[in-house]
Structure 1
Amino acid sequence: MSRPLNDHEAIRQQLMDAAEEMVRTRGAINLSLTEVAAACGMSQSSFYRYFSSKEAFFEAIAGRWFEELNQIMEDVVASDLPPREKLFEFVARRVAVKRARFEADPNLFRANMDLGEEHWEVIRGYVDLADHYMAVILGEAMAEGCFPGYDLDHVVSLTNLVMQPFCNPFVMMDMIRTATPANLRIVVNTLFDGLGAAQAIQGAQNVTPLRAIS
């Protein structure tokens, strides 16, 4: 007889919790599905009743990490805030979540970042989604007359560049004391006001697009 759906989901969560504990205690490298299954009292073959593949397992772990962050982005983009305020909230709300996670368990946070780097192909979609939503906000700003003389790709690249301390988890860990809401407000205002200045228009240069930041 098959397990009820709620039991099935509970065991999926248990397996992810076991993986998280292993990552916390010894790092992200070479996480073994056999060990994860054994920690939950099952064989590796039984593990595949709950996750169809190793990739599906890591996708579920990534989904759990990004769920709250994605909801924040969706809420901000759908809000009636003006674009400048949207960009601030888009970054500030997510950095608050990341900061809380880092302060609660720095070792786990660092290990999760390593896990993401090891399985970049799994999280790429989440990172691209963040870049897409940011482009939507910046596009709204441009529709209101902001950033004259620039195209959207250029503005997105510049925004990624200046937002590194607030969005890139690896940079954030080293700059956690300065990546504050007050400093973020200054950065957002500088971005909007600076790119709107005549001097910035005259001196605009092409920049190499950056990889999107989550």
Structure 2
Amino acid sequence: MPRPETDIEATRIRIMDAADRIIQERGAISFTMTDLATAVGMSPSNLYRFFESKDALAEAMAGEWFAELLVIMEGLVSADMPVEEKLYQFFAKRVVIKRARYEEDPELFESYMELGDEHFEVIKGYVDLADHYMASILAEAMEKGYFKGLELDTVVSLVNTMVQPFCNPRLMMQMMHLATEERLRIVIGTILNGMQAREPQARAKPGLHIAS
């Protein structure tokens, strides 16, 4: 008789909690599924009933990590607020959450970064989805007259480059004291007001210059 779905989910959560403890103690790269099975008191074959591979486990843990952030991003895309504030909040709300996670447990935070590096293909979908939500807000800004002369793909790429200290967890670990909401608001204002295509300046025509 199959176990109720709630029991399966509870066991999956218990396994992920054990994985948290292991990667905090040993780092993400060094632990194995056999280690995890031992930690939760089950055989490796039984563990694979819940997570068929380490990639599957990493995907589930990434889902837990991104769940709150995705709710924020999705809500902001449809929020009724000025697009300038919407773009600022898109990064600011996530900065607050990531900073709190880092301050609560820096070692676990860094271990999650290792896990993401090891299984980047697993988390790439979440990164792409964040870019999609950001592109939706930037497209709205373009409709309001921002980023004149630029294509949306170019705007997304440029904004991504400029806000890395406020959204890239690895950079945030190094620059946490600088990645503040106050600085972010200045950066967003600068992006909105200064980023647009420039007409190339005409070259001066060559000519004769007579020394006086």
Give the alignment's TM-score, normalised by structure 2: 0.91
Q: 1:31–1:134: structure 2 CA closer, same or farther, 3 Å change rule?
A: same
User: What pairs with 1:176-187 in structure 2 (closer than 5 Å)?
Assistant: 176-187=176-187
Match of 2:146 in 1: 146
Q: CA deviation at 1:139?
A: 0.5
> For the Cα contact (< 8 Å) 2:58–2:115, is it kept in 1?
no
CA deviation map 1:160-199 (0-9, x unaligned): 1110110111111111011111100000000001125xxx
RMSD: 1.4
The CA deviation at 1:39 is: 0.8
2:199 equivalent among 190, 202, 207: 202
Deviation of 1:203 after TM superposition, in Å, equals 5.9
* Letter of the 2:144 counterpart: E
CA contact (8 A) 1:12 1:50 kept: yes
Q: Runs of 4 or more off by more than 4 Å in structure 1? A: none
Aligned partners of 2:146 and 2:64: how far apart in 1? 36
Q: Partner of 1:9: helix, strand, or coil?
A: helix
Shift of 1:48: 1.8
Consecutive unaligned residues in structure 1, runs of 5 or more: 205-214
Q: Once the two structures are superposed, what CA deviation does each residue of 1:15-50 show, in whole Å capped at 9, x if it has no partner?
A: 000111011111111321111111111001111221
Aligned to 2:117: 117
Cα separation, 1, equivalents of 2:138 and 2:82: 11
Q: Percent identity?
A: 55
Q: Which runs of 5+ in 2 are unaligned?
A: 202-212
Structure 1 residue 53 displacement after superposition: 3.0
How many residue pairs get aligned? The number is 201
Q: Contact (CA 8 Å) 2:113, 2:170: kept in 1 or not?
A: yes
Which amino acid in structure 2 is aligned with residue 192 of structure 1?
L
Contact 1:195 1:201 in 2 (8 A): no
Q: Distance in 1 between matches of 2:174 and 2:199?
A: 34
